Amino acid sequence: MTTTRRILFIAALVIAAEMVFGLPFHITRFFRPTFLEVFNFSNTQLGDVFAVYGIAATLSFFLAAYSRITILRAS
């Protein structure tokens, strides 16, 4: 793979990751009043939900990294 293709691949990966992981934050940023009303949340409850999401995402990241390292060592 050439250097240009590697750079484009990494850039596409970063953009895709930003779209996936940024979506929950952008939805509430643009639609916070509607989001709070529909789900009957207070701002504190919404903050708690995002705290749980952040912890789950962090744990998932480390689990994925560990499993990837394990797979690479096995092959």
The model's confidence at residue 59, banded by pLDDT at 50, 70 and 90, is: very high
Residue 40: what pLDDT?
A: 94
Residue 20: what pLDDT?
A: 77
Is pTM beyond 0.75 here?
no
3-state secondary structure the chain: CCHHHHHHHHHHHHHHHHHHHHHHHHHHHHHHHHHHHHHCCCHHHHHHHHHHHHHHHHHHHHHHHHHHHHHHHHC
Q: What are phi and psi of 2, to 5 degrees?
A: -75, 165
Rounded to whole angstroms, how far apart are CA atoms 56 and 50? Answer: 10
Residue 40: left if φ>0, alpha if ψ -120 to 50, beta else—which one? left
Segment 13-54, tens digit of pLDDT = 888 888 777 777 787 788 889 989 999 999 999 999 889 988
